[in-house]
């Protein structure tokens, strides 16, 4: 993402909340498997600990957070802290958190970017679900990530590789989004170990998004958020992009980067 297009500015758009809800409904089904892997890995790493501290970057509306927390072993007492740039997302999170498991203590949800946030403690688990796009490659942010992890701590970063259809669409919209392919150098430079797990969705095809030269509702919901406006009646540029995109892009490869200190 370019310096001129930052998520703090994007979320100032009054339409973006409703556009994001439509987009999230499209992508959620093929991210759930990665969330399950995330929770399973956390259970394995911390199986002998009675308590786990979690810090989530881009906590959002709590839907994905709830999936993760519900999948973590109930024997753990979870101390949860989240940040996000959207106050509207925090309001929805507060509603979702009312049905979190009883072993979860929500300590804080702060409106802040990761760059501006100053953690006062270290965390066992750091989670970034599609939020590192707005953080980028500045080595200082990776050093901050390293420093807020406890010894033996783990960070889960979910990002799309360059070949994902969402990445291609954002590039077509003159954004230069950070991708999972851009993580290797900064993580290595900070002395962090990592592994990559890739998930695909074979239920989507090119026809899921465009039929007879028009966007389907599925396509409208997906691309309107990525183009930051409702595309109904303004589809031509997107349709050309869909025609040129490789078949692999429609499988929506999504990476979970598991980072160890």
pLDDT of res. 13: 65
Mean pLDDT of 81-98: 92
pLDDT of res. 31: 84
Within-domain flag for 240: no
Mean pLDDT of 226-236: 90
Which has the higher per-residue pLDDT, 25 or 167? 167
pLDDT at 6 over 90: no
pLDDT at 5 over 70: no
Count of alpha carbons within 13 Å of 188, Cβ hemisphere only?
6
Mean pLDDT of 95-101: 93
Q: What is the domain range of residue 18?
A: 7-204+248-260
Mean pLDDT, all residues of the chain: 90
Q: What is the pLDDT of residues 103-126, one digit of tens each?
A: 999 999 999 999 999 998 999 999
- What CATH number is given to the structural domain containing 117? 3.40.50.150
In angstroms, the CA 27 to CA 185 distance is 28
Within-domain flag for 93: yes
Within-domain flag for 218: no
User: How many angstroms from the chain centroid is the CA of residue 46?
Assistant: 23
Number of separate domains in the chain: 1
Within-domain flag for 242: no
Within-domain flag for 72: yes
Band (4; pLDDT cuts 50, 70, 90): very low
Within-domain flag for 188: yes
Mean pLDDT of 8-23: 74
The helix (H) or strand (E) run that includes residue 189 is: helix 184-189
In angstroms, the CA 238 to CA 210 distance is 9
Within-domain flag for 158: yes
Evaluated on CA atoms 168, 55, 53, 62, the torsion sign reads: negative
Mean pLDDT of 20-37: 85
Mean pLDDT of 161-172: 92
CB atoms within 10 A of CB 90: 19
Within-domain flag for 194: yes
């Amino acid at each position: 993402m370019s310096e001129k297009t930052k998520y703090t500015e994007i979320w100032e758009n009054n339409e973006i909340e409703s556009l994001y809800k439509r987009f999230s409904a499209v992508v959620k089904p093929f991210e759930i498997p990665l969330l399950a892997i995330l929770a399973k890995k956390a259970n394995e790493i911390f199986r002998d600990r009675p308590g786990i501290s979690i810090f989530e970057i881009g906590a959002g509306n709590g839907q994905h957070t709830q999936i993760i927390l519900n999948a973590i072993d109930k024997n753990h007492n979870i101390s949860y802290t989240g940040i996000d740039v959207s106050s509207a997302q925090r309001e929805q999170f507060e509603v979702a958190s009312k049905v979190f498991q009883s072993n979860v203590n929500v300590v804080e949800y702060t409106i802040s970017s990761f760059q501006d946030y100053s953690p006062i403690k270290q965390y066992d688990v750091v989670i970034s679900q599609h939020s590192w796009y707005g953080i980028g490659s500045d080595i200082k942010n990776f050093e901050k990530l390293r420093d807020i992890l406890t010894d033996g701590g783990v960070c889960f970063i979910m990002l799309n590789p360059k070949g994902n259809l969402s990445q291609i669409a954002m590039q077509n919209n003159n954004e230069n989004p950070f991708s999972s392919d851009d993580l290797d150098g900064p993580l290595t430079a900070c002395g962090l170990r990592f592994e990559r797990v890739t998930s695909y969705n074979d239920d989507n095809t090119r026809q899921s998004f465009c039929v007879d030269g028009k966007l389907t509702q599925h396509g409208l919901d997906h691309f309107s958020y990525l183009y930051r406006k409702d595309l109904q009646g303004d589809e031509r540029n997107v349709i050309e992009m869909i025609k040129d995109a490789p078949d692999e892009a429609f499988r929506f490869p999504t990476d979970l980067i598991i980072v160890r200190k």
